[in-house]
């Protein structure tokens, strides 16, 4: 396949249709890992989720719930990465499921995954704006409206996608390194001081305690929520070097690396306070004291100030990563002509940067419209916009993850007998799929509590129905294509890298 240097490459789909390709060899192993970890936003996951888990979920067993989630997600990733060794598709779940369970289920899943990433960006813009306005007021006394920060983040995300994944990668490396460093400084300092006031306590990492507390289901759900986006590694296969090796490695590094970090940091935060004091801090009017108290005591007041600013940059990094994910899903659907007009718009790549620039702009516009709608409805950017959209997107992506596990089962039952394995291609995806369905049940049964003051919101009540509507709509449209535009139906989920294409 000839690729003109400096131009957006093109590749044939094998269906006599030429489509644009993203810029190849633009990102390496560490770059893919950083892009995936950025979607997890470690500092946001820790400071945003752990206090709520401790106060209203499984109490001091919050670190144990991260341990349980890490094991489950690692099992899921075994099947996911087995398929990534054979299929390299920017559409990730969309492509995998299309090959495993067929084009109809693939399109429905692709629409659900696209929808999830589309709403994740405005959700993160909501929490970014909240962190920014609060920190600026607390530390300088200056009041800036939240929507000003929302516009700033929209612009940064749009530019990052326009200039290609390598530009976004460089910015994310800096943002992630700083937020991980400050959290690690707190955790390591507590460990070096021999623990907190009660020394080291191992109750927080006892797996039994993951299923204890006020609402163990809520705590476990928040633990799984903290990983949302790790599977985005597969989206960068087309732009990475040697994707058959890089994507599986990056996925497992993301799952296990983030998991060990979450367990250690949350454990040291609870230990640094002392178990009883940790619950009290998490339940106070300032739940961030769960992290601020040990940081101030064992590192210094300067670190608390830095941590507040890094909560802003951490949510920016997360939102930027989700913007890239959404743009690539929109691009993947567009270049295959799910609607014919899309090939000439969101299915195109930038002639110089090889980026999904049109899809990125569309994602920016959609995010702006959603933020404007929530603003017009008088929703708080955190308790309204962030919480409601994050729950909506998480439900959609968890359903897709479950379907993907079963797609792995079906795919290896019909293909690649040389790669079949009792654990990697059967037991792991089966257990992973059932576990993902269990997490969906946890979400549905606990989403009212998770939504807090928005528990009565129409958006929250409609969340399961919106997910069902998009899924069934995808199934119906795929059947329409099959009958009325069979040539378009034949392309669904089939655009993969030529050099890693199914043989």
The pLDDT tens digits for 192-203 are 998 889 888 899
275, two tokens: 């178990």
Are residues 347 and 337 in contact, defined by beta-carbon separation less than 8 angstroms? Answer: yes
Burial of 240 (0-12, 13-18, 19+ CB in 10 A): buried
pLDDT tens-digit map of 276-334: 999 999 999 899 999 999 999 999 999 999 999 999 988 888 888 889 888 888 888 88
pLDDT at position 217: 86
Give the tokens for residue 20: 């644009």
Helix axis angle, 243-273 relative to 62-84, nearest 10°?
180
Residues 6+ apart with CB under 8 A from 220: 57, 58, 65, 68, 69, 210, 211, 439, 442
Q: Averaged over 35-62, what is the pLDDT?
A: 88
Q: What are 21-30's pLDDT values in tens digits?
A: 566 656 778 8
The span from the CA of 120 to the CA of 391, in Å, is 9
170 or 480: which leads in pLDDT: 480
**Average model confidence (pLDDT) across the chain:** 86
Structure tokens at 401: 């993850």
Distances (CA, A) of 34 to 170, 174, 290, 372: 9, 10, 27, 30
Query: pLDDT of 67-109, one tens digit each?
Result: 999 999 999 999 989 888 888 776 678 888 999 999 999 999 9
Q: Measured between alpha carbons, how far is 302 from 363 in angstroms, rounded to an integer?
A: 37
The band of 165, judged by pLDDT with boundaries at 50, 70 and 90, is: low
Asked whether the predicted pLDDT for residue 393 surpasses 50, the reply is yes
Three-state SS annotation for 149-163:
HHHHHHHHHHHHHHC
pLDDT at 44: 85
86 contacts 417 by C-beta, under 8 angstroms = no
Residue 452 near residue 287 (C-beta atoms within 8 A): no
* Digit-coded pLDDT (tens) for 226-243: 888 787 787 776 776 777
Give the residue among 243, 221, 258, 216 at the shortest CA–CA distance from 74: 258
> Is the separation of the CB atoms in 477 and 106 below 8 Å?
no
Q: Which residue has the tokens 């939504």?
A: 451
Whether the pLDDT of residue 498 is over 80: the answer is no
Q: What is the DSSP string of 3-58?
A: --TTS--EEE-SSS-EEE-PPTT-B-HHHHHHHHHHHH-HHHHHHHHHHHHHHHSS
CA separation, residue 367 to residues 54, 118, 314, 372 (Å): 32, 7, 19, 8
In this predicted structure, what is the pLDDT of residue 171? 74
Q: Would you state the pLDDT for residue 500?
A: 40
Task: Give the model's pLDDT for residue 499.
Answer: 43
Average pLDDT over residues 174-181: 85
User: Is the distance from CB of 19 to CB of 90 less than 8 angstroms?
Assistant: no
Task: List the alpha helices (DSSP H) in 141-242.
Answer: 146-162, 165-192, 216-225
Q: How far is CA 153 from CA 122, 128, 219, in A?
A: 10, 8, 30
Quick one: three-class SS letters along 434-490? Answer: HHHHHHHHHHHHHHHHHCHHHCCCHHHHHHHHHHHHHHHHHHHHHHHHHHHCHHHHC
Virtual CA dihedral for 468, 123, 307, 159, nearest 10 degrees?
120
């Amino acid at each position: 396949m000839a690729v003109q240097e400096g131009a957006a490459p093109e590749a044939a789909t094998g269906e006599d249709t030429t489509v644009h390709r993203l810029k190849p060899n633009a990102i390496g192993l560490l770059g893919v890992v950083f892009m995936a970890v950025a979607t997890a936003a470690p500092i946001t996951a820790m400071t945003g989720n752990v206090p709520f888990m401790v106060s209203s979920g499984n109490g001091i067993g919050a670190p144990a719930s991260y341990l349980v989630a890490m094991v489950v997600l690692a099992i899921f990733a075994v099947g996911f990465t087995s398929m990534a060794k054979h299929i390299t598709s920017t559409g990730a779940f969309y492509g995998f499921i299309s090959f495993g369970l067929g084009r109809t289920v693939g399109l429905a899943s692709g629409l659900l995954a696209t929808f999830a990433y589309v709403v994740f960006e405005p959700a993160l813009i909501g929490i970014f704006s909240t962190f920014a306005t609060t920190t600026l007021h607390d530390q300088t006394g200056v009041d800036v409206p939240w929507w000003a920060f929302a516009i700033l983040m929209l612009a940064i995300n749009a530019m990052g996608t326009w200039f290609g994944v390598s530009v976004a990668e460089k910015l994310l490396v800096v943002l992630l390194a700083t937020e991980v460093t400050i959290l690690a400084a707190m955790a390591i300092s507590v460990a070096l001081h021999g623990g907190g006031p009660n020394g080291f306590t191992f109750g927080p990492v006892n797996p039994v305690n993951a299923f204890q507390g006020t609402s163990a289901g809520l705590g476990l759900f928040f633990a799984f929520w903290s990983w949302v986006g790790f599977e985005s590694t597969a989206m960068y296969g087309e732009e990475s070097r040697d994707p058959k090796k890089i994507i599986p490695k990056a996925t497992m590094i993301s799952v296990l690396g983030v998991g060990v970090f979450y367990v250690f940091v949350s454990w040291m935060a609870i230990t640094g306070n002392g178990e009883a004091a940790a619950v009290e801090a998490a339940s106070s009017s300032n739940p961030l004291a769960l992290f601020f108290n040990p940081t101030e005591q064992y590192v210094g007041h300067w670190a608390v100030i830095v941590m507040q600013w890094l909560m802003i940059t951490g949510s920016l990094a997360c939102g930027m990563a989700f913007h890239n994910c959404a743009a690539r899903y929109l691009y993947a659907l567009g270049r295959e002509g799910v609607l014919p007009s899309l090939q000439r718009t969101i299915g195109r790549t930038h002639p110089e940067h090889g980026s999904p620039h049109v899809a990125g702009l569309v994602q920016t516009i959609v995010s702006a419209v959603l933020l404007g709608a929530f603003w017009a409805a008088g929703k708080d950017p955190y308790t309204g916009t962030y919480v409601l959209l994050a729950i909506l997107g998480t439900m959609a992506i968890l359903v897709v993850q479950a379907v993907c596990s079963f797609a792995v089962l079906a795919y290896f039952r019909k293909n690649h007998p040389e790669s079949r394995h009792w654990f990697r291609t059967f037991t792991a995806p089966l257990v992973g799929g059932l576990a993902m369905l269990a997490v969906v049940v946890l979400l549905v049964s606990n989403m009212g509590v998770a939504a807090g003051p928005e528990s009565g919101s129409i958006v929250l009540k409609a969340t399961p129905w919106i997910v069902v509507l998009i899924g069934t709509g995808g199934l119906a449209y795929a059947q329409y294509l099959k009958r009325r535009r069979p040539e378009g139906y034949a392309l669904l989920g089939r655009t993969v890298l030529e050099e890693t294409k199914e043989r």
